[in-house]
Amino acid sequence: MNMIVCCKQVLDPEAPPASFKIDPATNKVVPPPGVPPVISPFDEQATEAALRIKDKLGGKITVISLGNNLARDVVKKPLSMGADELVLLEDEAFEGGDSWSTAYALAMAITKIGEYDLIFCGRQAADWDAGQVGLGIAEFLGIPSVTVAKKVEVIDTKARVERVLSDGYEVVEVTLPALITVSNELGQPRYATLKGIMVAAKKQPIIWKPANIGVEPSQIGATGRRLKLFRLFQPVKEAKCEIVGGDSPAEMGINLALKLREAKTI
Amino acid sequence: MAEYKGVMVFGEVAEGKLASITTELLGYGRQLADELNEELSCILAGNRISGLAQEAIAYGADKVYIADDPQLSDYQGDSYSLVVAEIMKENPPRIMLLGQTSIGRDLAPRLAFKFQVGLAMDCIELSIDPNSKLLQQTRPVYGGNAWATFVCETFPQMATVRQKAISSLERNESRKGEIIPVTVKLDPARIRTKIVDRVKEEVVGIKLEDAQVVVSGGRGIGSPEGFKQLEELARILKGAVGATRPPCDNGWVPTTWQIGLTGKIVTPDLYIAIAVSGASQHLAGCSGAKTIVAINRDPEANIFKEARFGAVGDWKQILPAFTEKIKELVAE
Ligand SMILES: Cc1cc2nc3c(=O)[nH]c(=O)nc-3n(C[C@H](O)[C@H](O)[C@H](O)COP(=O)(O)OP(=O)(O)OC[C@H]3O[C@@H](n4cnc5c(N)ncnc54)[C@H](O)[C@@H]3O)c2cc1C
Ligand SMILES: Nc1ncnc2c1ncn2[C@@H]1O[C@H](COP(=O)(O)O)[C@@H](O)[C@H]1O
């Protein structure tokens, strides 16, 4: 099994909402000081999905991350979990892309890698929440895709995927090669082992510039966008919460119920 | 190719009826089409759905394309994207709207990449720029911490719309429209997936999406037993129970109970959030509630920024008395 996992480095989505800031002049998010970036959580689950297949059938897992100035200890995490190879599409020209230009560059890199049976992506990246790049890569490569997987198994020449629906799930069989996007229902990604961390520390990522994958800088990153960002802003919220008092928790409970009756919500 | 004209929506069918997202999309589409002074069309795909064409017209469509075929009885990315792309090619829309649902999330990107255009997912506001006549698409990003407005200068301009972001128009039975049957020609070799099984989570009581009262629990509930107390409160209020992601991930409750950005969107009159921190990704699913009530032991919890009423303390000590009092008040 040759597998590829696309992992994006993002701002930590679990950082406290109060620390979230935008620079209106540049339409960009200001990274909160002291909060390191992370691999987008669904991408860790995508890595886990590939590792579970490798555990059973063996094979090679290549991770690709696209961006600029990527933090090595962050993007190496999938290696420390058990992935084999790391390819970084790292250049200024890759920055500021939308789903279109990102999927295009990733598809070109995957074409260069050449051999693959399964490609995994997260269902959506935790920064822009687009949820498109996986399907886009599949369209570029002309391969089938299945989204929001909670379980993936390979049986002969097919993958059997449990796909999450709003009222349950369906089991889908897809011919290989295929692209699968993974959701949190897959379960906890494994922790890095000490040995894994040591192996990852020594491993040099392969770095590709636009020319290495045969793309023009104008087709990728911010200049390759099809969706123009017009404005980025924080919705204003006025705190108006009325906290009920009480001498004991039980009294608070009673007062809260009375409040709701008073406000005619019950 | 013909000129890009009009607004087109992809309608969904659920249990033999137009899904609520369809009537919402028609409402939105109608507004945009009127502003542009162009037509609103609706695609309906499925098996034995022709009877719903008139319904789509009653909710605002001028034209309905009906792709009625046994091969479309279940949604599959390959088959649906081929059929819908064909209709879009024959009748190129200026604007194409889909719902941010299981189906729309899967179908919209496939179409956008086929047509080589940008796509804004999960929009909560759409408007026409008066000067350029281009569609302005506003959607939450960074889990809801920020909103972004996008513009796409190529056609069709595509968006998916968050569920319950707008209310449907009144049904108007006297509206007239045109119904256009579409012949479905699918080459089986191009359908590379096969659905071999479907497992449906049984819902006892009121469906979460339809409930007027939702009692929702977070990580702080700590166990499946804890959720039993929430179910008791929901029963008294004739509501449903929901959850944040951790209780679902931990297996305390079914995953279908998850509310939020990647879970269900609920807009009840009353939302009671217990031991929920109020992460933006969770609020994405409940901020449309009329009144939010929070019980949390952390006075700084973000949920109090969204809530109307709150109590600060251990839910295990507050909830029994709260539930008891509610029971009494409701019985009066
Ligand atoms: C891309 C993405 C998508 C996501 N989608 C969703 C989604 O759809 N839905 C969703 O819910 N989350 C989603 N998340 C996760 C989200 O970011 C939060 O991690 C999650 O909502 C936190 O759940 P919580 O509030 O239950 O847990 P926590 O943040 O851990 O909060 C627990 C709260 O319980 C309180 N508490 C603990 N014990 C008690 C007690 N005894 N009495 C009173 N209070 C107590 C604590 O003070 C705390 O505020 C998503 C994340 C990402 C990155
Ligand atoms: N810059 C990137 N580098 C690597 N993978 C990415 C990148 N952007 C998106 N992806 C992959 O595509 C998925 C969906 O991203 P998006 O469509 O941006 O929400 C992510 O979960 C990743 O698997």
Considering every ligand atom, which ligand is closest to the CA of A249? Answer: 1
At B293, list the tokens.
Answer: 């009530």
Give the residue from chain A lying closest to B306, CA to CA: A239
Which ligand 2 atom sits closest to the C-alpha of A137?
A: 12
Interface test with A, best of B138, B269, B318, B327 (most A CBs within 10 A): B318
**Distance between CA atoms of residues B76 and B73, nearest Å:** 9
Which of the following CATH numbers is that of domain B7-190: 3.40.50.300, 2.60.120.10, 3.30.1370.10, 3.40.50.620? Answer: 3.40.50.620
Intervals of chain B under pLDDT 70: 1-2
Strand partners, B149: A231, B138
* Side-by-side strand order, sheet with A158-165: A206-208, A85-90, A60-67, A2-6, A118-122, A178-182, A145-155, A158-165, A168-175, B193-200
pLDDT given for residue B290 in this prediction: 97
Query: Which one, of A130, A135, A70, lies nearest residue A103 by Cα?
Result: A135
- All structural domains of chain A with their residue ranges: 2-224, 236-266
pLDDT of residue A237: 80
Model pLDDT, residue A1: 96
* Model pLDDT, residue B2: 61
Cβ-nearest to B309 among A18, A172, A260: A260
Chain A 83-142, residues with CB within 8 Å of chain B CB atoms = 98-100, 103, 123-124, 126-132, 135-136, 139-140
Two tokens at B52? 């719903």
pLDDT value of position B167: 86
Please report the pLDDT score of residue A253 as a whole number.
98
Ranges of CATH 3.40.50.620 domains, chain B? 7-190
Mean pLDDT of chain A: 97
How close, in Å, is residue A203 to chain B by CA atoms? 31
Structure confidence at residue A32 (pLDDT): 92
CATH class of the domain defined by A2-224: alpha beta
Find chain B residues with C-beta within 8 A of A254's C-beta.
Answer: 321-322, 324-325
Q: Residues of A numbered 62-81 whose beta carbons fall under 8 angstroms of chain B's beta carbons: which are they?
A: none
Do the bridges between strand A145-155 and strand A158-165 make them parallel or antiparallel, or are there none, so unpaired? antiparallel
Q: Which of B139, B261, B274, B295 has most ligand 1 atoms within 8 Å of CB, for mutation?
A: B261
- Alpha-carbon span B186 to B79, nearest angstrom: 7
pLDDT value of position B327: 98
Whether ipTM > 0.95 holds is: yes
| pLDDT per 10-residue tile (average), chain A, 266 residues | 98 92 93 95 98 98 98 98 98 97 98 98 98 98 98 97 97 98 98 95 97 96 96 88 97 98 95
Share of chain B above pLDDT 70, in %: 99
Taking the model in full, what pTM does it have?
A: 0.97
DSSP calls for chain A: -EEEEE--EE--TTS-GGG-EEETTTTEEEPPTT---EE-HHHHHHHHHHHHHHHHH--EEEEEEEESS--HHHHTHHHHHT--EEEEEE-GGGTT--HHHHHHHHHHHHHHH---SEEEEESS-TTT----HHHHHHHHHT--EEEEEEEEEEETTEEEEEEEETTEEEEEEEESSEEEEE-GGG-PPPPPPHHHHHHHHHPPPEEE-GGGGT--GGGSGGGG-SSEEEEEEPPP-----EE---SSHHHHHHHHHHHHHHTT--
Structure confidence by residue, pLDDT tens digits, A59-100: 999 999 999 999 999 999 999 999 999 999 999 999 999 999
What pLDDT is attached to residue B189? Answer: 94
Contact A16 B290 (CB under 8 A): no
User: How confident is the model at residue A44, as a pLDDT?
Assistant: 98
| Amino acid letter for position A153 | E
Among the bound ligands, name the one nearest to the CA of residue B280: 1
Question: Could you tell me if B18 and B157 are in contact, meaning their C-beta atoms sit under 8 angstroms apart?
Answer: no
Does CATH place domain B208-331 in 3.30.1490.20?
no
Residue B259 confidence (pLDDT): 98
Q: Which of B193, B293, B302 sits opposite A173 (nearest CB)?
A: B193
